[in-house]
Amino acid sequence: MTPDISTSAFVFPQPIKLIIWDLDDTFWRGTLSEGAVEGLEENLRLVRETAARGLVHTIVSKNDFAPAEAKLQELGIRDLFVFPQISWQPKGPIIRQLLEQMQLRAPNALFLDDNPINRAEAQYYNPELQVADPADLRALAPLLRASGKADPTFSRLEQYKLLERQQQARTQYNDNLAFLRDAEVRIRFAEGEQVLPDFDRIEELINRSNQLNFTKQRVTAEELQVSLRDPARRWGSVRVQDRFGDYGLVGVYCLNVADNRLEQFVFSCRILHLGIEQFTLAYLGFPALDVRGEVATALNQQDRPDWITVDTGPTASPAAPTSGSRLRVLLKGGCDLGQLTPFLQAFSLEVREEFNYNNEHQIPVHLEHTALLRASREWPATEQQRLATALPFLGQEAFSTQLWTCDYDVLVYSPLMDYTQELYQENATSRLVPFGGYQNLQQVDPAAQAAKFAQRRFLGMDEAFLRWFQREFTWQGQSSPEQFTENLRWLRSQVPGHIPIFFLNGAEVEVPGSGEAGAAQRHAVMNQALAAFVDSAPNCFIIDVREFVHSSDHVTNNLRHYQRQQYRTLAQRLAAAIGQWQGQQLAHSSWTDLKARASSLVPSKLRGVWQKLSKG
């Protein structure tokens, strides 16, 4: 499928996890076999920034491998590509093989090539592959930068490098069983209390995995918390290592002890073809398992892979923070705050994130509105499920949040969705749900609005739904300052008192052409309410962005999205405030900060030197 970027409302039909680059006149300017080529700064920056959000990059190019690799090294970018396919072979079959090797689906990959024949061939062999002309990158780049989630240590890239090493070694064997026995696969199981520190990873596996999710029983965070402590259920996690590296926590199971039946049996696709899922089933004594939907491997009730050994050493668990350990910071707000993370990593902080995401209907869901937070805590699970099902702009994970786990030391919270989103009240129950912003869905023409939502590839937001929504809900407008203050008091009561809350207020900048009339005035009113609340609330603080975001040059497409330098300043102000709160200035690495700024500070001609220095 080829993106239709004729509208600014375009979104990718499926999340992009892999970007496949052609080289000549795509990644760089010119044809390498004909002479010198010129690196394109915008492409180099895009690869670096999206790799730091977990997107993976590879190459399929018709070139000689050695000179192409040498040019990539000269540009200082070679280490950010995995599984490069540089040869003179047809691209369609190569991409199909590449996706199999990387254990990824075609709909989650984007192929960039300036030649329409190559794009057509790639789609012929991979029908659901997303393709685009590099001329469209200017429009697509913001969407790619907003994809994934912050990964400042490039952990996802490292996992694919591990897989690449494994695949390269596998090609040296004619007998797959011989390869597996030489791979030194080791598995470690943890059960009971030992799994609790890995709550976030367990929830992610259950709710995000598909290829090796045998049970497909999605859960809310609250349901999972209850189930993990249920003595009638045997919960366990699975970690795997082999001679190529450490795959981390890659599996989770939940056994209903009374029925001897698996309720959860889920694995990451990164251990596909290692036999981990079959070994785990045997380890549990082959309990009953009702496989739901399609899965990538078949299981049986008798085999126990003999190339896997159980590591009986102690299970590593995250230690509780001490005075000498890094403070755990939960950063909650819009996904643009992900630009804070690389700069915050320069300080002695462990940063965790909870941002908006695209739900199963391809609609962005903000989890931070205080009305939604209250609903996640106060509504019965049946009501949460009912409205999550009825309202496509919510979706199944809209009421999930890390806030109530309280396994963090500092909360950094941006309440800007309370500044922005409209509230709608269900007529039958008076329940409030937030959506959109600076638009009243009760006053729009359903057919025209449905057409706009369709252009944005939103699912379920058709004319019939909008007419139903206009009948069943009443527009309440944006939160009043009084409602906002009440909800902030509630939030402070729900987060343990010893955990400080650092609020990020809003800019008061006029942004021409943003389509949000009155936004700067609205921010001024809500900022005043926030300041009044913080003045009277215990252990609450404000980071005032107005001190360094005070011009239209400091923002991008709206007054909630700032320029990169503003995020760096915000990180510095935040770190200083956290240090003042704890009574000790945070340790700071100038080197890490410099690396975070490298893409904008280092000239392209010096990138290769910079890469070498940063490894030293």
DSSP 555: B
Residue of 146, 153, 200 whose CA lies nearest to 335: 146
pTM exceeds cut of 0.95: no
Question: In angstroms, rounded to a whole number, what is the distance separating the alpha carbons of residues 598 and 593?
Answer: 9
Domain ranges of the chain: 18-157, 173-310, 327-421+481-585
CATH class belonging to 327-421+481-585: alpha beta
Instruction: Kindly tell me if the per-residue pLDDT of 605 is higher than 70.
Output: no
Interval 454-513: pLDDT, tens: 999 999 999 999 999 999 999 999 999 999 999 998 898 888 888 999 999 999 999 888
Average pLDDT over residues 72-88: 93
- What tokens does 32 get? 């390498």
Question: In angstroms, rounded to a whole number, what is the distance separating the alpha carbons of residues 200 and 328?
Answer: 14
Interval 116-173: pLDDT, tens: 999 999 999 999 999 999 999 999 999 999 998 888 878 889 889 888 888 888 877 7
Interval 260-319: pLDDT, tens: 999 999 999 888 889 999 999 999 999 999 999 989 899 999 999 999 999 875 443 333
Which pLDDT belongs to residue 414?
96
Residues in the chain: 616
Question: In angstroms, rounded to a whole number, what is the distance separating the alpha carbons of residues 315 and 362?
Answer: 38
Q: Which residue has the higher pLDDT, 475 or 248?
A: 475
At 615, the pLDDT band (50, 70, 90 cuts) reads very low
Question: In angstroms, rounded to a whole number, what is the distance separating the alpha carbons of residues 424 and 393?
Answer: 12
Half-sphere exposure of 254 (CA within 13 A, CB side): 23
At 611, the pLDDT band (50, 70, 90 cuts) reads very low
Which pLDDT belongs to residue 600?
44
Strands (E), 107-193: 109-112, 130-132, 185-191
Interval 522-549: pLDDT, tens: 999 999 999 999 998 889 999 999 999 9
Which pLDDT belongs to residue 515?
82
Q: Alpha helix locations (H) across 392-499?
A: 416-420, 446-455, 463-472, 481-494
Interval 570-595: pLDDT, tens: 999 999 999 999 888 898 888 777 77
**DSSP output for 472-521:** HEEEEEEPPHHHHHHHHHHHHHHS-TTS-EEEE-------TT-S-TTHHH
Q: Dihedral angle at the C-alpha atoms of 108, 367, 381, 494, nearest 10 degrees?
A: 140
Contact 225, 246 (CB under 8 A): no
**DSSP output for 237-278:** EEEEEETTEEEEEEEEEEEETTTTEEEEEEE-GGGTTTTHHH
Decide if 173-310 and 327-421+481-585 have a common fold: no
Which pLDDT belongs to residue 246?
84
Which pLDDT belongs to residue 319?
37
Which pLDDT belongs to residue 575?
94
Which pLDDT belongs to residue 317?
38
Which pLDDT belongs to residue 536?
85
Contact 481, 525 (CB under 8 A): yes
Mean of the per-residue pLDDT values of the chain: 89
Residue of 253, 255, 41, 225 whose CA lies nearest to 141: 41
Instruction: Kindly tell me if the per-residue pLDDT of 1 is higher than 60.
Output: no
Average pLDDT over residues 202-207: 93
- What tokens does 84 get? 């490069």
Fold entry, domain 18-157: Rossmann fold (3.40.50)
Q: Which residue has the higher pLDDT, 321 or 15?
A: 15
State which CATH number among 1.20.120, 3.40.1000, 3.30.1360, 3.40.630 fits the domain covering 173-310.
3.40.630
φ, ψ (nearest 5 deg) of residue 250: -120, 0
Contact 463, 441 (CB under 8 A): no
